[in-house]
Amino acid sequence: MLNDDERRIRDDRMMVLAGQSGGLSRQIDPSLYSTYGVKRGLREANGRGVLTGLTEISDVNGHRDVDGKSVPIEGELYYQGYKITDLVEGFRNHRFNFEEVTYLLLFGELPNRKQLRDFIDLLGQYRELPSKFVRDVIMKAPSANIMNGMQRSVLTLYSYDSDPDDITIPNVLRQSMLLIGVMPMIAVYNYHAYQHYHNDRSLIIRYPDEELSAAENILRMLRDDGQYTELEARVLDACLVIHAEHGGGNNSTFTTHVVSSTGTDTYSAVAASLASLKGPKHGGANLKVENMFKDIKEHVNNWEDEGAIRAYVEQIIDGEAFDHTGLVYGMGHAIYTLSDPRAVILKEKAKKLSEAKGLEEEFNLYQTVEKVSAELLTEKRHLSKPVCCNVDFYSGFVYSMLGIPRQLFTPIFAMARISGWCAHRMEEISSGGKIIRPAYKYVGHHRTYHKLEDRS
């Protein structure tokens, strides 16, 4: 067994060896992608995704064909054929909206009153981790990144399943209900465990209440006093609803399809999707937005001065400020142009919550940055289509107002998207048939082998 000093020496030797080889840093010539017609990132030249599958679960629209031309429209998101805006409007004054959306995604139809009540009761019963799971799994070696802890926890649940490899639809539905039920517990408990062992925080493990909604239980389990307002629970519930699904082409859901097409078990497929969502280009985007606004607040003293805000956002776009990438995080989307319906819904919730918490000035700052960013990006990038904010623009602000720590921003996304992943997994198993296997073109060189003693 190596000690810490010996491990450091080993790792240093490895880095020296790596530095002596040029193979690790060799990059593909970018021009070859055009030469061979490769769709980088599975994207067409216009930015749209390459068509790789069919789905009935959800639809995402940002354009409409009119007389053979693609015309931008207000963004549309459909769950099983229902517009997300219609669903959210119909959900007003209800408590279990995420649960109703989960039923819709899994079963393809909206439930009647009895079906919804039975489903809520069942989901409440599935909010139960195996005996001693928190002690034996979550409390052991907690990770600073909660998403890694969630992956480990999900994979370990395989060992507690009496029939983990059965991929018949009834069994996968059972496993899906379990994972949807326990995902909030897995995330919150992993957070508490890390804070306890590494930041000396008091350890409070509060079990979920079967009578409460997913949103209510998340706030109850997360907060030391277990208290929350009705408005806070409704706002978080709306966040879960709009993050539950977004078509089969987003990276984590596509991962679900790819991994499920191999015939592997549900726990492995969901762990892979969690790994995808963890990436800062996917689920971690709202953290980038929050970091950007922290920087804006430090450099713009008067949040009511639109001219000063515009000037600083222009510096960001020119690569002269913030992280010097030229990106305004939370602005733009691959499909939506005039608006992202999720962002429209979330902006309304952010406004109500900011009024309740006395943070109207900060909300107005977000609105102003959204406005001037759209104008400046269109002007400076000479764009032919409008730029709208996406769902990440306001989500971090909403989470912060709810008192959700930054380490749980992406896990909140996962708590919602697990419903969509499970629906797509069942669709892939039922309809896919073939293993998903794209092709890569070899552009290296064929070389002659030389024996070790003949190499310089």
Domain identity same for 229 and 355:
no
Within-domain flag for 364: yes
Within-domain flag for 231: yes
pLDDT (0 to 100) of residue 25: 67
pLDDT in tens, the chain (456 residues): 889 999 999 999 988 888 877 667 678 898 998 899 989 888 887 777 888 999 999 999 998 888 888 889 999 999 999 999 999 999 987 899 999 999 999 999 999 999 999 999 999 999 999 999 999 999 998 999 999 999 999 999 999 999 999 999 999 999 999 999 999 999 999 999 999 988 878 788 899 999 999 999 999 999 999 999 999 999 999 999 999 999 989 999 999 999 999 999 999 999 999 999 999 889 988 999 999 999 999 999 999 999 999 999 999 999 999 999 999 999 999 899 999 999 999 999 999 999 999 999 999 999 999 999 999 999 999 988 889 999 999 999 999 999 999 999 999 999 999 999 999 999 999 997 899 999 999 999 898 999 999 987
Cα 270 to chain center, whole Å? 13
Domain identity same for 184 and 206:
yes
pLDDT (0 to 100) of residue 19: 80
Within-domain flag for 2: no
CATH number for 198: 1.10.580.10
Domain identity same for 227 and 298:
no
Within-domain flag for 138: yes
Q: What is the helix, strand, coil percentage profile of the chain, to 5?
A: 55, 5, 40
Domain identity same for 231 and 164:
yes
Q: What is the pTM of this model?
A: 0.93
Within-domain flag for 328: yes
Q: What are phi and psi of 220, to 5 degrees?
A: -65, -45
Domain identity same for 108 and 150:
yes
**Closest by CA position to 303, among listed 367, 387, 377:** 367
pLDDT (0 to 100) of residue 408: 97
The domain boundary residue, chosen from 358, 386, 401:
401
The domain boundary residue, chosen from 361, 382, 401:
401
Domain identity same for 411 and 394:
no
The domain boundary residue, chosen from 401, 420, 442:
401
d(CA 1, CA 49): 49
Q: Position of tokens 């977000």?
A: 366
Within-domain flag for 46: no
Within-domain flag for 446: no
Domain identity same for 295 and 377:
yes
Domain identity same for 221 and 290:
no
Domain identity same for 173 and 223:
yes
Indicate the number of domains in the chain: 2
- Outline where DSSP puts E strands in 123-237: none
Tokens of 313: 């956002």
Residue 424: CB atoms within 10 A of its CB come to 27
Identify whether the C-beta of residue 253 lies closer than 8 Å to the C-beta of residue 273.
yes
Q: Which residues are catalytic?
A: 333, 392
CB crowding 211-237: b at 16 or more within 10 Å, else e: ebbbbbbbbbbbbeeeebeeebbbbbb
Specify the length of the chain in residues.
Answer: 456
| Residues 6+ positions from 75 with CB-CB distance below 8 Å | 60, 61, 62, 333, 335, 336, 337, 338, 339, 340, 341, 344, 388
CATH number for 360: 1.10.230.10
Tell me the one-letter amino acid at 419: S
Within-domain flag for 254: yes
Domain identity same for 173 and 294:
no
Domain identity same for 124 and 226:
yes
Domain that holds residue 96: 77-281+404-431
Enumerate the β-bridge partners of residue 71.
Answer: 64
Domain identity same for 336 and 427:
no
